[in-house]
Structure 1
Amino acid sequence: MNRGENAGHFNKLYYSFSAAAGLLILGYAGCMMYMTGLTGRVIWLSILFICIFAVLCVLLIWGLRSKLAGIVDTLDEIIEGAIRGEERVTGYSETSISSLENKLIRYIDLSFAHEQKMEAEKNTIKQLISDISHQTKTPLSNITLYSQLLAEQAGFEGETQQWVEQISIQANKLDWLIQSLIKMSRLETGIITIHPSYSPVIGTITEAMSQAYKQAEQKGIDVTIDCASSIYAYHDQKWTGEALFNILDNAVKYSEPGSRIRISVATYELFVRVDIADSGMGIAECELTHIFKRFYRCQRTAGFEGVGIGLFLTREIISAQGGYIKVSSKLEQGATFSIFLLADS
């Protein structure tokens, strides 16, 4: 509540008190005149009483108002000084305001210490994530390289060849999982900062689609994009592209070969809506509120690859830009994911 709101609130109290005092004076004077008669002496005494009582009320109201205004100003100075770390306003006198000032300074000091602690923990986590990323990159790269070298060697047949291929596949899965966990941790701790800008949506969609196109082509899935080049939205192209890819990857993964995925974009006054509709297995209604949770996987997807990170990352990325995401689906009728991006900053 600012000073203007405080003044308005106190003025209402003053006006209410003044009205009550006025009614009391008029009621008292009326009763006196009614009981004693309208004699000149009674009238003059009543007028004198009204004037004296009115003056006392005005002085009382003015004194209370000045006192309250002084307290509010003192509290405002205390808060401003405590925030800037200036010397105390009331000194160390044993008054209620001095006690309040002391508690406020202690609270600000504790808040500052807590903020420093959080920043130190954030830096520690940042260093830990960097170490994990660095330490796992080389072993995984070596495993992938050696598996490729083994696959190129002559003489491997049957099960041996399959084992070599599985080593490469599982190494790639492990690398993807580690990178996803690192991204999730960086987003949650604020290490990764998203920088949205007013840019065309079609470029972000085509970039995301280029990453999922190979898998869609292998399954014979037809992908259509309906988006005008003139449509712009306030978003981070890199991270929004990754969010769109996570949805497209699921759409391709859970759709039958030869099916269709449609990407359409519509503009509203405040948002730009990107719909990704597939004709896959769909999502049960009871699971719609859970699919964006970390590590959650639908019961019907147990036989497919994945760990339940993609949609969680998607929601975090979109939310960090001021947008939101929702989904509508029915079993065996596909699902439609709708991403809403800010139309302007």
Structure 2
Amino acid sequence: MLDAVLKREPILHSDLKEGKLSFLAGKAKRIQEHLLLEIEQAEQEKEQVKQLISNMSHQLKTPLANVIMYEELLKDSALTPKQQSHFLEKMHTQSVKIDWILKSLFKMASLEQNAINFEIEPLPIHETLMDALNTVYEQAQKKQLHIELESDKNPILLHNRKWTAEVFANLLENAVKYSDTGGRIEITVQSLEMYTQISFSDNGIGIDSSEYQAIFRRFYRSKRVENIAGSGIGLYLSKMILEKEYGYLTVESQVGKGSCFTVFLQNCKN
């Protein structure tokens, strides 16, 4: 029986009559099942690490190549001060992108492995929304986008302020990124019986209904936006954060007319 466990072969003593040997056979089978489960989990984790390394390499390849290229260009002594300033700015942009990708990957890996002490508490939602709005204000201004918050109340919801602000910021950044200059983004807060829904609507390029599930997968990017900067991490990260808060995220969209992402957070019990 021990040889069978070590060789991952079936234990053939299960038809023995009741007695010490039958009892040992049952124990051995349970040990074998436990070991096989652990082996399977280890293989899955190994595959996840391989995929993560592969995806990190893919995400970082272009910005790193750009930094190296700009560095080589800056070594040219014939460059004018204006040209040097231009390439330094380009290098800085790529460095910021690398930093953002690495931080996002770290957050994603930490949440996946439950390596973060994730606490939720009753907090007013408007303050969390303002944290997120502050992160996209400058980007929205550059594209002359009008952002409007429609809410008469400031409900107390169960959430983690820091991580939920990250969810809202991801949704707002996507709305800004995929909206045309002069567009409009509306944020509405509506209380329901068990949840409060916070909706983010834009009049951007929209999403095909066939991609509703795919956009929440890790590193997924639609072919329609391949030429627009992005990593495919934001929505996946947002979905994970909300699951830890016992909330969820939905999307409704129409190609060419815009999208509406809705976050559902639990109301606090009176």
TM-score, normalised by the number of residues in structure 1 = 0.58
Alpha-carbon offset, residue 215 of structure 1: 0.7
1:303 aligns with 2:227: yes
Alpha-carbon offset, residue 319 of structure 1: 1.2
Alpha-carbon offset, residue 344 of structure 1: 3.3
Report the Cα distance in structure 2 between the residues aligned to 1:112 and 1:279, rounded to whole angstroms.
53
Cα deviation 1:266-305 (Å, max 9, x = unaligned): 1111111110001111111222221111111122212211
Cα contact 1:222–1:261 (8 A) shared by 2: yes
- Residue of structure 1 aligned with 2:18, choices 95, 106, 110: 95
CA RMSD, Structure 1 to Structure 2 (Å)? 3.3
Specify the structure having the higher radius of gyration (Cα): 1
Structure whose residues are more often strand by fraction: 2
For 1:276, the equivalent position in structure 2 comes to: 200
Report the Cα distance in structure 2 between the residues aligned to 1:281 and 1:271, rounded to whole angstroms.
29
* Alpha-carbon spacing, 1:104–1:243, altered in 2? closer, same or farther (3 Å): farther
Alpha-carbon offset, residue 95 of structure 1: 1.8
Cα contact 1:200–1:229 (8 A) shared by 2: no
Report the Cα distance in structure 2 between the residues aligned to 1:286 and 1:210, rounded to whole angstroms.
33
For 2:124, the equivalent position in structure 1 comes to: 200
User: Quick one: which amino acid aligns to residue 291 of structure 1?
Assistant: I
- Residue of structure 1 aligned with 2:242, choices 318, 327, 338: 318
Alpha-carbon offset, residue 158 of structure 1: 4.5
For 1:239, the equivalent position in structure 2 comes to: 163
Runs of 4+ with >3 A deviation: 96-102, 108-115, 155-160
Report the Cα distance in structure 2 between the residues aligned to 1:263 and 1:106, rounded to whole angstroms.
56
For 2:10, the equivalent position in structure 1 comes to: none
- Residue of structure 1 aligned with 2:252, choices 323, 328, 336: 328
User: Quick one: which amino acid aligns to residue 308 of structure 1?
Assistant: G
User: Quick one: which amino acid aligns to residue 99 of structure 1?
Assistant: S
User: Quick one: which amino acid aligns to residue 208 of structure 2?
Assistant: A
* Matched residue count: 228
Report the Cα distance in structure 1 between the residues aligned to 2:249 and 2:20, rounded to whole angstroms.
49
Report the Cα distance in structure 2 between the residues aligned to 1:236 and 1:112, rounded to whole angstroms.
37
Matches within 5 A, 1:199-218: 199-218=123-142
Report the Cα distance in structure 2 between the residues aligned to 1:322 and 1:105, rounded to whole angstroms.
39
* Alpha-carbon spacing, 1:162–1:227, altered in 2? closer, same or farther (3 Å): same
User: Quick one: which amino acid aligns to residue 171 of structure 1?
Assistant: S
Cα contact 1:326–1:338 (8 A) shared by 2: yes
Report the Cα distance in structure 2 between the residues aligned to 1:233 and 1:108, rounded to whole angstroms.
45
Alpha-carbon offset, residue 156 of structure 1: 4.1
For 1:7, the equivalent position in structure 2 comes to: none
Cα contact 1:201–1:229 (8 A) shared by 2: no
TM-score, normalised by the number of residues in structure 2 = 0.73
User: Quick one: which amino acid aligns to residue 121 of structure 2?
Assistant: S
User: Quick one: which amino acid aligns to residue 148 of structure 2?
Assistant: T
- Residue of structure 2 aligned with 1:184, choices 78, 103, 108: 108
> Structure 2, unaligned stretches of length 5 or more?
1-16, 57-63
Alpha-carbon offset, residue 105 of structure 1: 7.5
The structure whose RCO (Cα within 8 Å, separation 6+) is larger is 2
Kindly, what percent of the aligned residue pairs are identical? 32
Matches within 5 A, 1:1-345: 95=18, 99-100=22-23, 103-104=26-27, 107=30, 111=34, 156-344=80-268
Report the Cα distance in structure 1 between the residues aligned to 2:265 and 2:35, rounded to whole angstroms.
35
